[in-house]
Structures are given as C-alpha cells and as structure tokens.
Amino acid sequence: NAGVTQTPKFRVLKTGQSMTLLCAQDMNHEYMYWYRQDPGMGLRLIHYSVGEGTTAKGEVPDGYNVSRLKKQNFLLGLESAAPSQTSVYFCASRGSSGNTIYFGEGSWLTVV
Amino acid sequence: GEDVEQSLFLSVREGDSSVINCTYTDSSSTYLYWYKQEPGAGLQLLTYIFSNMDMKQDQRLTVLLNKKDKHLSLRIADTQTGDSAIYFCAETGSSASKIIFGSGTRLSIRP
C-alpha cells in the first residue's frame, strides 16, 4: 500500500515554462487536495476534488489548473510558471466517511 | 469564511509540558486536527477530535476543545527533543470537504 505518491519530488523551472505535478492514491479515496506551503504561511489550499470528474477552487487557485479524470489521480498544472509559485506542494487524500487525511511527501518546485 | 490562527513560535524546556493553541472561525467544523511536520518532511497526523468532544487524550498528547470560544489546544507532556517540529492545527470547515490549516507553530526545546 503506497498511500499518496507525488511526482516529481524536485523540479526547477524557468519563468514561463509549464509543468504538471501528479498525485496518485491507492486507497480509493473520494477527496483529494493540493496545498502549497510557504515559510510562515502554513498550508494553503490551491484546489480540491470531491470525486472523479470534479474540481473546486481553494484559497489560492490563481495560476493553477487541476484535473481529476481518474479517481486515483489528481493533477496540478502550472501553465506559465512564475517565481511566486516557488514553493513546496503537498497532495492529500481522504475517504468520504473518513476523518484522516493522508499526505504525500511533497514536491519542491523552484521557478527561476 | 474559514480561518485558523496559531502563534508562530513556542520554546519550552525539555521535560516541561508544551501547550500549543489554535483558534478557528467556522463553528460548524466536524473534525479538528493536529499535524506534526519535521524538517524536510511531510505532515504526520498526531491526533484529531470530533466536534462534539471536549477532550481527547492519547499517551503524552491531550487535546482540549472549547467550542464556545472556538479554541483548540494541544498539550504535550514531558516534552522531548524529538518533539521539535512545526505543529499545524486544521479544521474541516462548513462543507466538510475542505481542510483548512493554520500557519503552524514551531516548537523548539531548550536543554
């Protein structure tokens, strides 16, 4: 049981480049989340999904897009990366009747 | 809207108790959580409390919930150097689908 897996773990992008972060969970969870973590600001919710084919905006959605084509995968896309998007990104998942959120190990993204 | 607030830093002496506080705004939260993050690592669930409970104890950890004041606290008894980390408070929010986190409290241990 791998839990929540994020790829890639580290990436350096140039301003204006695009990339996709992949989150995969093998627990058949309904809910999936993407957060970013910046020093002194905790985790801020970017987008989330309550089931396959659904997505919703969180606290800081601008500059990001997401897709949930398969229940086990939640993709986070940056169409035109900006230095302000340098951050650590965490994916998480939760079952619909569960009270425990499972986190991935994080993806460190630097935009230069 | 939903908001979760924590103080940024706490320093305690080894062996003393640590008390980390959190306030939240959404009175309809179903669950409230405490997570621990060590340097360079992800988030580890420490404990959670259901909103109809006042207290939960789990070994060295005690969670107190004051729903009237929307205040949550985490007490760590006999604090050890291995407890050095950032501690995050989180709530489920009114929709129960979003999980909103505080900014985290960095706990440091003095010898």
What is the SS3 assignment for chain A?
A: CCCEEEECCEEEECCCCCEEEEEEECCCCCEEEEEEECCCCCEEEEEEECCCCCCEECCCCCCCEEECCCCCEEEEEECCCCHHHCEEEEEEEECCCCCCCEECCCEEEEEC
Inter-chain touch A105–B100, beta carbons under 8 Å:
no
What is the C-alpha end-to-end distance of chain A, expressed in Å? 36
Please give the Cα distance from B68 to B50 (Å, whole number).
Answer: 15
Q: B-chain residues within 8 Å CB-CB of A41?
A: 103
Backbone φ and ψ for A57, nearest 5 degrees, come out as -80, 145
Q: pLDDT per position in chain A (112 positions), as tens? A: 569 999 999 999 999 999 999 999 999 999 999 999 997 778 899 999 999 999 999 989 999 999 999 999 999 999 999 999 999 999 999 987 767 888 999 999 999 9
Q: What is the per-residue pLDDT across B54-108, written as a single tens digit (0 to 9) for each?
A: 999 999 999 999 999 999 999 999 999 999 999 999 988 666 678 889 999 999 9
Q: Is A44 on the interface with B (CB under 8 A)?
A: yes
Is the alpha carbon torsion for B14, B38, A103, B102 positive or negative? positive
Q: Which residues of A touch B50 (CB under 8 A)?
A: 99
Q: What is the nearest CA distance from A83 to chain B, expressed in angstroms?
A: 21
- Calculate ∠ Cα A99-A25-A34, nearest 5°: 75
Antiparallel, parallel or unpaired: β B105-110 and B85-91: antiparallel
Neighbours of B34 (CB within 10 A): 24
